[in-house]
Amino acid sequence: MNINENFLKLEDSYLFSTIAKKVTKYQNENPDKKIIRLGIGDVTKPIVPAVINAMNKAINEMGTAEGFRGYGPEQGYVFLRNKIVENDYQNLGIEADEIFVSDGAKCDCGNIVDIMGNDNKIAITNPVYPVYVDTNVMAGRKENIIYLDALEENNFIPQLPDQKVDIIYLCFPNNPTGVGITRKELKRFVDYAKENKAIIFYDAAYEAFITEEDIPHSIYEIEGAKDVAIEFKSFSKSAGFTGLRCAYVVVPKSVFGYDKQGEKVSLNKLWNRRTTTKFNGVSYVIQRAAEATYSEEGKIQLKNNIDYYLENASIIKDGLKNIGFTVYGGVNSPYIWLKTPNNMKSWDFFDLLLEKADVVGTPGVGFGSCGEFFFRLTAFGTKENSLEAIDRIEKANIL
């Protein structure tokens, strides 16, 4: 058997597995030390009562002849798709058959390459969530990737491509930098896509953390975006579903690609065909859990969790600034993007922070070359650990 040799073009180790190995080694060598982990963006607050109640009810249904369900619709149950439209896309013109429920935005962002031709020119921001790059490399498109540098002097908002591209990956509020994008800035990308027959893959997994009015919660708030954008959203961070697994992708029926003869092809139909072929759907119990996030009780409980994480973000950001660090993000996002002291390389800063303060973060260079000399911390820990981490960093005299 021959292998897919595109996998050999990947880095030897995924960013977060490298971090895990380093931390495990340090912990084994220092078993008495309490390590505060502010690296991987995993939530810590438990599932809220409204969701637990909905899951329990759904589980009990599954134990009866009348309520039992086997295979569900691959695209997601209508009850959840309708709730998504009513709550997340009210007045934006999105319909239920443009919503596809999945087991995670990470999966969607990777799987979307199935409906793309290999000759597409792809623009990806730098720094960036590694999945966008790695899944395209796996599919044989490494040579077709260009990078849009997101630099400090531009508040980490990338410039438009200086050449014609077919696909643009955007993530806002951004992972890893934590910054949001204004409607005016986002419209530039929508206009570019319309002028160049390009498609925007818009990852809005962190929209629940937006606090500022001029930051859009969906790309479809921008005029014309329904014709050029596919949007990814997730319940992982907004509702704590990292262990339950539920998300959705929006593929408007007005978004088209082109075949080799130049004829328009519906991406909604392609994605539906891919979904029904390769996916058996998210479980009924989990979809009822997701539905409960839109109940009045669920909304209140989830907002309390979001506010908790945003308070942590404020603690970390303000604490670092008071120590003397240059810091970004943490206002519309759970991520804090700090500049390493004295142009220290980000993996060196990772080691320093671990050894001097027993705090784990994520080296910026792991997100791309433009992440070098920066470092990501997350607000998904506890308030107590957020406070203690800042106290440790201050006492370590790192600056």
Q: Would 329 be classed as within a structural domain?
A: yes
pLDDT by residue, tens only, the chain of 399 residues: 999 999 999 876 678 888 999 999 999 999 999 999 998 889 999 999 999 999 999 999 999 999 999 999 999 999 999 999 999 999 999 999 999 999 999 999 999 999 999 999 999 999 999 999 999 999 999 999 999 999 999 999 999 999 999 999 999 999 999 999 999 999 999 999 999 999 999 999 999 999 999 999 999 999 999 999 999 999 999 999 999 999 999 999 999 999 999 999 999 999 999 999 999 999 999 999 999 999 999 999 999 999 999 999 999 999 999 999 999 999 999 999 999 999 999 999 999 999 999 999 999 999 999 999 999 999 999 999 999 999 999 999 988
Tell me the two tokens of residue 331.
């206002």
Q: Would 224 be classed as within a structural domain?
A: yes
Place of tokens 């990338």: 158
> Residue 313: which of 375, 383, 362 has the closest Cα?
383
Q: How many CA atoms lie within 13 A of 352 on its CB side?
A: 15
pTM (2 d.p.)? 0.96
- What CATH number is attached to the domain comprising 327? 3.90.1150.10
Tell me the two tokens of residue 300.
């209140």
> Is 316 in the same domain as 278?
no
SS3 374: strand
> Is 161 in the same domain as 253?
yes
CA 225, distance to chain mean position in Å, is: 19
The partner residues of 249 in beta bridges, in order of sequence, read 100, 232
Boundary of a domain, candidates 273, 295, 317: 295
Q: What are phi and psi of 39, to 5 degrees?
A: -100, -80
135/7 Cα distance (integer angstroms): 9
How much is the pLDDT for 134?
94
Could you tell me the residue range of the domain that residue 129 belongs to? Answer: 69-295
Angle CA 143–149–152, to nearest 5: 160
Q: Would 370 be classed as within a structural domain?
A: yes
Q: What are phi and psi of 397, to 5 degrees?
A: 50, 50
Q: Which amino acid is at 51?
A: V
- Across the beta sheet with 327-329, what order do the strands follow? 327-329, 335-339, 374-378, 362-363
> Is 376 in the same domain as 247?
no
How much is the pLDDT for 13?
66
Between the CA of residue 117 and those of 60, 238, 257, 260, 295, what are the distances in Å?
Answer: 45, 33, 10, 10, 40
Boundary of a domain, candidates 295, 312, 338: 295
What residues have CB less than 8 Å from 91, skipping those under 6 apart? none
| Count of domains forming the chain | 2
> Is 216 in the same domain as 343?
no
